[in-house]
């Protein structure tokens, strides 16, 4: 019989949970993978999270990763990308990094886990990504997210 591994908090889980609590960001449209059926998120847009770097603190249980936040929008009835909607989502994320409640405890969707987000800040301006042939609009923003697991 193989040992059962305990579920642990991860940066992806923490970033998704934190973004779901940002004012104006549609909480049902935040995940690590963009759904292929865009009709489920065309009205609200979608926020995709990808851990891209950073480093854990070597002597404490603190993590300070860099997270790429991609803000997607689509207009299924037109071939024109809705750049304004994608840009607005990115600006809402940036505004969330400046909010008074930026450091808060977030519940994670597995194992009754939670994490304390200590700080979040943008590492630059949101960038328009022009490489999509499917007429999706996408803005990308990198953030630094300092967090610890809550025992």
Residue 76, CB-side half-sphere exposure with 13 Å CA sphere: 10
Q: Is the pLDDT of residue 127 over 90?
A: yes
pLDDT in tens, 68-103: 999 999 998 888 999 999 999 999 999 999 998 888
Dig out the tokens for 63 from the structure: 């993590």
Look over the chain and give the mean of its residue pLDDT values, rounded to a whole number: 93
Surface-to-core class of residue 148, CB atoms within 10 Å of its CB (0-12 exposed, 13-18 middle, 19+ buried):
middle
Ordered DSSP codes for 35-99: -S-GGGTTTT-EEEEEEEEEEE-SSSSEEEEEEEEEEEE--TT-SS--HHHHHHHHHHHHHHHHS
Q: What is the pLDDT of residues 31-52, one digit of tens each?
A: 999 999 999 999 999 999 999 9
pLDDT tens-place string over residues 22-31: 999 999 999 9
Residues 37, 150: Cα–Cα separation, whole Å: 35
pLDDT of the residue at 1:
61
Mean pLDDT (whole number) for 95-118: 92
């Amino acid at each position: 019989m193989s040992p059962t591994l305990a579920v642990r908090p991860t940066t992806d889980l923490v970033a998704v949970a934190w973004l779901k609590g940002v004012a104006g960001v549609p909480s049902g449209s935040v995940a690590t993978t963009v759904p292929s059926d865009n009709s489920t998120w065309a009205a609200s847009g979608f926020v995709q999270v990808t851990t891209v770097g950073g480093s854990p603190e070597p002597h404490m249980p603190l993590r300070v990763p860099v997270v790429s936040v991609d803000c997607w929008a689509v207009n299924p009835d037109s071939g024109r990308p809705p750049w304004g909607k994608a840009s607005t989502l990115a600006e809402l994320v940036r505004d969330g990094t400046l909010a008074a409640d930026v450091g808060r405890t977030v519940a994670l969707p597995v194992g009754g886990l939670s994490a304390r987000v200590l700080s979040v800040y943008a590492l630059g301006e949101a960038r328009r990504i022009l490489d999509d042939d499917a007429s999706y609009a996408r803005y990308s923003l990198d953030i630094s997210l300092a967090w610890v697991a809550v025992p």
